[in-house]
Chain A
């Protein structure tokens, strides 16, 4: 932990929960494909990405549980990765809006993955040099996984953009669905400030990568215009998240205080 920039415990906790929630919700959405993919090999690939992301979420939640336990004065504190994932409600979730969007068709799933993984890639690249040793270690490990996610999803964006008329049409429709949720990635919430991440640089790098993949995919889209939605990072979500959580948290809510 870098004491010189004085990050409060609350800020660190919120930041870790934000990172964890992003990975968990994205991984959960990917896992919805399991058994229903368009090609058996790709069913395996997207489940693999789901596993990587859920693994990242667990690492961040486990780390977050430590300062949470220390900061409360109750004699017994039962905070665990599972209480954090399964017992917080919509307003407490801090993931960005992009990851909670429904999967839609394969084009929408792929484009969402590409936007998100590219964002994670540049973010983790910075975090692997963070002063916080634990955060640094988690980011460095995750970066290896995310590097593959970016490669896989960008190859698919190119394949769909430069494939058939139908696939191009679907990719453009996915762009219309998702672009409005990408601006939030680079609008820091209060807990993201002072975490030694350079959002301006990250946005530049992200834009550059997105434009170059779009070019190879032979799709021409107005990447600058359009209004962007935001709010997820501070708990103002779309209606999709509540339903996702209702499903994901069902067992823990219906059978509280049980070991699984």
Chain B
């Protein structure tokens, strides 16, 4: 019986028919998706922090508005993704709990600090750029709600990437101090961005199964190479350089060769020892704890209203 269900499931996947929440699915597929989607949602929410760090110091009103709108978009992405994960039978509160206790991960890139205004541009260009390459294939991922959420996310992310590039382009045409700020940000964000694609394929334990289930469509190394090829060209427009002495076009491979990634650093940051791991998690936990009385009040009020007027429910929109 189980075997038949599994065959039906895999047939659907092979034929590119989307799996929907009520369809039968292998338990491991469900768990893999919960892990991946919630990790993605947490990344959006934690990712609001390093960029939010510069909202109150943005150098012009236009930049301030763009940055608020961007960080707000990340919150929106978090919402779509938490909703997509909820269709798999886990609640948003449970996912938050996993984040706060360290059981669930988020993208390690957000454990690096934003030290200057140029970091906001570098995050848009490099971090969102890397995220997009990871995410575009997810628009065709086998699980329907995830794929549909990703279509919206990707549209907004490419907009953010262009904004980030435009921010850096402005700096690159500015004063000496601005140019230095721009190069410094690229120097600091380049290697962590490359690590965003995850470990090398031979060290990536989940890849094969995820490919079979079409949760994943390209390997970490394929996507990383694509990113490097793209950025190595774009950086020329900025008149800046990437901090890798071994970066060189390889005519035979038709790809850029690049230097060795410091995987020791990657695993340290994943393991909780990055410069801002504690700070980021503390900020999320504090927001959640400080908001407890607000959520309780909203729930109490909604209940009161629903009991007074059961046909209409509360007077106010859901919170």
Contact = CB atoms under 8 A, between A and B. Distances in A.
A170 B60 CA distance: 35
Contacts of A50: 68
B208 interface: no
A251 B71 contact: no
A178 interface: no
Interface in B276-319: 283, 286-287, 290-298, 300-301, 304, 315-319
Contact of B49 (A35, A158, A162, A247): A35
B296 A40 contact: no
Given A39-B295, A48-B72, A106-B291, A159 B301 contact: yes
Interface size, A (range): 35 or more
Contacts of A58: 61-62, 65
Interface string A1-42: 000000000000000000000001000100110111111111
Interface stretch (B73-81, B125-133, B142-150, B224-232): B73-81
Contacts of B301: 158-159, 162-163
A251 B61 CA distance: 12
A82 B59 CA distance: 9
A221 B283 CA distance: 35
Interface centre among A39, A43, A252, A258, by most chain B C-beta atoms within 10 angstroms, is A43
B296 A47 contact: no
Interface size, B (range): 35 or more
A51 B69 contact: yes
Contacts of B296: 163-164, 166-167
A217 to B, nearest CB: 10
Contacts of B318: 41
Interface in B167-181: 170, 173-175, 177-178
B314 to A, nearest CB: 9
B interface: dominant SS: helix
B174 A258 contact: yes
Nearest to B167: A260
B64 interface: yes
Given A28-B56, A43-B75, A163 B300 contact: yes
Contacts of A163: 296-298, 300-301
A54 B291 CA distance: 26
A39 B294 contact: yes
A36 B301 CA distance: 23
Nearest to B290: A38
Given A34-B52, A167-B293, A40 B64 contact: no
B40 to A, nearest CB: 15
B61 A57 contact: yes
B73 to A, nearest CB: 9
A57 B283 CA distance: 30
Contacts of B45: 35, 40
B287 A38 contact: yes
A interface: dominant SS: helix
Interface in B211-261: none
Contacts of A51: 65, 68-69, 72
Contact of B59 (A37, A164, A252): A252
A162 B290 CA distance: 19
Contact of B60 (A82, A160, A164, A250): A82
B58 interface: yes
B78 A164 contact: no
Interface centre among A42, A160, A163, by most chain B C-beta atoms within 10 angstroms, is A163
A44 interface: yes
A55 interface: yes
Contact of B71 (A38, A47, A54, A164): A47
A44 B78 CA distance: 11
A227 interface: no
A34 B72 contact: yes
B293 A85 contact: no
A37 B68 contact: no
A259 interface: yes
B117 interface: yes
A170 B295 CA distance: 14
Contact of B63 (A43, A61, A260): A260
B48 interface: yes
B19 interface: no
Contacts of A248: 56-57
Given A51-B72, A247-B56, A42 B61 contact: no
Enumerate the 9 nearest inter-chain pairs by beta-carbon distance, A residue then B residue, closest first.
Answer: A38-B291, A163-B297, A167-B297, A251-B59, A35-B48, A35-B52, A38-B294, A260-B59, A47-B72
Interface of B: 45, 48-49, 52, 55-65, 68-69, 71-72, 75-76, 78-79, 82, 117, 170, 173-175, 177-178, 283, 286-287, 290-298, 300-301, 304, 315-319
25 contacts: A24-B61, A34-B68, A35-B48, A35-B49, A35-B71, A35-B283, A36-B283, A38-B292, A39-B291, A39-B298, A40-B75, A40-B78, A42-B319, A44-B72, A54-B64, A54-B65, A54-B68, A81-B61, A158-B301, A164-B296, A164-B300, A167-B300, A250-B57, A257-B175, A258-B177
